Structure 1
Amino acid sequence: MKTIVNSGVIVQAYNNNIVSIRMDGKEKILFSRGIGFGKKFGDKIKEGTEVEKIFVIEDQDNLRNFKQVVEKVDEDFLTMCERIIILISEELNEELDERIHIGLTDHLYYAIKRIKNNEIIDNPFLMEIKVLYQREYILAKKAAKILNNEMDIMIPDDEIGMIALHIHSARNSGNLSNTIKNAYLINMIIEYVEKKLKIKIDKNSLDYARFATHVRFAIRRMLVDSPVKNDFIREIKCKYRLSYSISKDVSKILEKRLEKNVSEDEIAYLAMHIERFRVSTIKNN
Structure 2
Amino acid sequence: MQIHKILNNNVVVVLDEQEKEQVVMGRGLAFKKKCGDEIDPAQIDKVFTMSNPDTNNKFQEIVANIPLEYMLLVEDIITYAKTHIGKKINDSIYISLADHIFMSVKRFSEGIVVKNALLWDIKRFYKDEFYIGQKAVEMIAQRTKIILPEDEAGFIALHFVNAQMEENPDKVEDMYTITKVMQELSNIVKYYFNMEYDEDSVYYYRFVTHLKFFAQRLVTKKTYQEESEDDLLDIIKMKYKNAYECVKVIKKFLVEQYDYLLSDEEMLYLTIHIARVTNKNCG
Aligned residues: 269
Q: Does 1:119 align with 2:112?
A: yes
Q: Give the TM-score of the pair, scaled to structure 1.
A: 0.71
SS across alignment from 1:56: coil
Residue range with higher mean Cα deviation, 119-128 or 87-96: 87-96
1:261 to 243, 260, 263: 263
Question: Is the CA contact 2:207–2:274 (under 8 Å) kept in the aligned structure 1?
Answer: no
Q: What secondary structure is seen at the aligned counterpart in 2 of 1:112?
A: helix
Rate the CA distance shift 1:163–1:195 in 2: closer, same or farther, 3 A: same
Q: 1:107-186 counterparts in 2 under 5 A? A: 107-173=100-166, 174-175=169-170, 176-186=172-182
Query: 2:49 aligned to 44, 49, 55, which one?
Result: 55
Code of the residue aligned with 1:75 in structure 2: it is L
The question of 1:85 aligning with 2:78 is answered yes
- What secondary structure sits across from 2:113 in the alignment? coil
Match of 2:94 in 1: 101
2:183 pairs with one of 180, 187, 190? 187
Distance 1:184 1:114 in 2: 24
CA-to-aligned-CA distance 1:170-191 (integer Å, 9 cap, x gap):
2334242432222111112134
The one-letter code of the counterpart of 1:160 is: A
Residue number in structure 2 paired with 1:244: 244
Deviates more, 1:51-60 or 1:124-133: 51-60
- Alpha-carbon distance in 2 for matches of 1:196, 1:91: 36
Structure 1 gaps of 5+ residues are 1-6, 278-285
Q: Could you say what secondary structure the match of 2:14 adopts? A: strand
2-structure distance, mates of 1:45, 1:55: 18
Kindly tell me: are residues 181 and 15 of structure 1, through their superposed partners in 2, closer, same or farther at Cα, counting changes over 3 Å? same
Contact 1:251/1:267, CA 8 A, preserved across alignment: no
Please give the TM-score of this superposition, normalised by the length of structure 2.
Answer: 0.71
Q: Supply the RMSD in Å over aligned alpha carbons.
A: 4.2
**Secondary structure in 1 matching 2:4:** strand
Do the aligned partners of 1:248 and 1:267 also contact (CA within 8 Å) in 2?
A: no
Q: Call closer, same or farther: CA 1:131–1:36 in 2, change over 3 Å.
A: farther
Deviations 1:143-189 (A, max 9, x none): 21110111122222221111011112223342424322221111121
Inter-partner Cα distance in structure 2 for 1:37 and 1:92 = 38
State the one-letter code of the partner of 2:183: N
Aligned residue for 1:155, secondary structure, equals coil
Q: Distance in 2 between matches of 1:238 and 1:96?
A: 41
